[in-house]
């Protein structure tokens, strides 16, 4: 949600920080040369118009958290995610996207942080007009791809700069593929919590997450151990059967449910010598 504040003087600190200048129509200013003061005000500037980024209601706030959760898991090595990152997009615009992906570290050409490559906007109570005004300015600055999640209509769109510019819907079954992402991001994961969980696990697996790898190794070892236990238990029953020794249902269940390898190995030895099934279980 935003509120327009018409009374505003477009003055900004100069590159040195010691002087003031009126923004003109020259080259793009540095990404961190701001018209508003970060972390002090909720104000943003869109084409010279001051708007206020109000705190969100539950639908917007929850979706914001879910978006960052999914994005963080999907970023490729060398990239980072950020929320509410204030960026000077042009001489008269200084605002933040709800979430973005940018290259980590410092841009050697500017000595500043890297510009966003992917930007995401959430639209609920916020006016669609504001988001549609932001998109072309982000695009002109160099943000490669811009997405909007329309919460009420449960739709994800990507900005197209063709013609006058417009939001193009993405199919629910489609994916967002990009070099910034280690794995294509399922559009459904941006709208549904269960799909988000699945997408996060798959993305972490695609990045060979060490903890997931440890879990896989542990599961494999556990499976191998269970297979070994099951095999020994069946061997005990097979030996007794071949020797013609009757085994009660209770004794069969005790053998099959035992997970103690040492005990099972003892029972194997006993099965070859015992005269009755009861003797197998003797210490």
Rounded-to-integer distance, Cα 250 and Cα 192, Å: 48
Sign of CA dihedral 133, 138, 144, 146: negative
Q: Are residues 220 and 193 in the same domain?
A: no
Q: Are residues 108 and 221 in the same domain?
A: no
Q: Are residues 25 and 155 in the same domain?
A: yes
Domain count, the chain: 2
Q: Are residues 180 and 275 in the same domain?
A: no
Sign of CA dihedral 236, 242, 247, 250: positive
Q: Are residues 232 and 120 in the same domain?
A: no
Cα-based distances in Å from 224 to 166, 218, 254, 257, 265:
56, 10, 21, 16, 16
CA 55: distance to chain centroid?
23
- Among 270, 268, 274, which residue's Cα sits nearest to residue 229? 268
Q: Are residues 44 and 160 in the same domain?
A: yes
CATH number of the domain at 139, please.
Answer: 3.90.1570.10
For 242-267, give one letter per residue: b (16+ CB within 10 A) or e: eeebebeeebeebbeeeeeeeebeeb
pLDDT at 40 (0 to 100)? 58
Q: Are residues 55 and 149 in the same domain?
A: yes
pLDDT at 19 (0 to 100)? 33
> Is the separation of the CB atoms in 159 and 146 below 8 Å?
yes
Task: Tell how strand 4-5 and strand 49-52 pair up.
Answer: antiparallel
Structure tokens at 94: 């200084």
pLDDT at 23 (0 to 100)? 39
> Is the separation of the CB atoms in 137 and 46 below 8 Å?
yes
Q: Are residues 258 and 175 in the same domain?
A: no
Last residue of a domain, one of 166, 188, 206: 206
Q: Are residues 252 and 115 in the same domain?
A: no
Last residue of a domain, one of 151, 172, 206: 206
Q: Are residues 166 and 264 in the same domain?
A: no
Domain carrying residue 189: 4-206
Last residue of a domain, one of 206, 236, 271: 206
> Is the separation of the CB atoms in 96 and 85 below 8 Å?
yes
Residue-by-residue pLDDT tens, the chain, 283 positions = 444 444 344 443 333 333 333 334 457 777 776 666 665 566 676 766 777 666 666 777 888 889 999 999 999 999 999 998 888 888 887 788 899 999 999 988 888 899 999 999 998 866 777 888 889 998 999 899 999 999 889 999 999 988 888 999 999 999 999 999 999 999 999 999 999 999 999 999 888 888 877 887 777 878 777 888 888 899 899 888 888 899 999 999 999 998 888 888 889 888 888 889 988 888 6
Q: Are residues 63 and 199 in the same domain?
A: yes
Rounded-to-integer distance, Cα 276 and Cα 247, Å: 8
Q: Are residues 72 and 143 in the same domain?
A: yes
3-state secondary structure the chain: CCCEECCCCCCEECCCCCCEECCCCCCCCCCCCCCCCCCCCCEEEECCEEEECCCCCHHHHHHHHHHHHHHHHHECCCEEEEEEEEEEEECCEEEEEEEEEEECCECCCCCCECCEEEEEEEECCCCHHHHHHHHHHHHHHCCCEEEEEECCCCEEEEEECCCCCEEEECCCCCEECCCCECCCEEHHHHCCHHHHHHHHHHHHHHCCCHHHHHHHHHHHHHHHHHHHHHHHHHHHHHHHHHCCCCCCHHHHHHHHHCCCHHHHHHHHHHHCCCCCHHHHCCC
Rounded-to-integer distance, Cα 45 and Cα 92, Å: 7
């Amino acid at each position: 949600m935003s509120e327009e504040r018409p009374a505003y003087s477009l003055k900004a600190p100069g590159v040195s920080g010691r002087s003031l200048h009126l923004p003109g129509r020259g080259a793009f200013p540095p990404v961190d040369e701001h018209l508003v003061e970060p972390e002090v005000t909720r104000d943003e500037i869109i084409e010279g118009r001051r708007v206020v980024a109000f705190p969100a209601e539950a639908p917007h706030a929850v979706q914001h958290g879910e978006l960052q959760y999914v994005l963080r898991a999907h970023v490729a090595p060398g990239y980072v995610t950020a929320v509410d990152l204030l960026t000077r997009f042009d001489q008269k615009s200084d605002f933040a996207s709800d979430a973005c992906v940018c290259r980590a570290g410092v841009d050697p050409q500017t000595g500043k942080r890297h510009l966003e490559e992917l930007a995401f906007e959430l639209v609920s109570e916020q006016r669609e007009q504001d988001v549609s005004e932001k998109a072309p300015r982000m695009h002109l600055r160099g943000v490669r791809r811009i997405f909007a999640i329309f919460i009420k209509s449960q739709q994800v769109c990507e900005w197209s700069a063709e013609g006058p510019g417009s939001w193009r819907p993405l199919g629910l079954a489609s994916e967002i593929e990009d070099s910034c992402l280690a794995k294509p991001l399922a559009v459904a994961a941006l709208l549904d919590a269960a799909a988000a969980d699945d997408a996060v696990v798959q993305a972490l697996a695609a990045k060979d997450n060490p903890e997931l790898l440890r879990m896989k190794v542990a599961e494999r070892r556990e499976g191998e151990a269970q297979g070994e236990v099951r095999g020994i238990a069946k061997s005990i029953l097979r030996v007794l059967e071949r020797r013609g020794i009757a085994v009660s249902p209770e004794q069969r269940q005790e053998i099959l449910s035992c997970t103690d390898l040492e005990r099972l190995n003892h029972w194997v030895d006993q099965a070859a010598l015992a005269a009755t099934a009861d003797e197998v279980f003797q210490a």
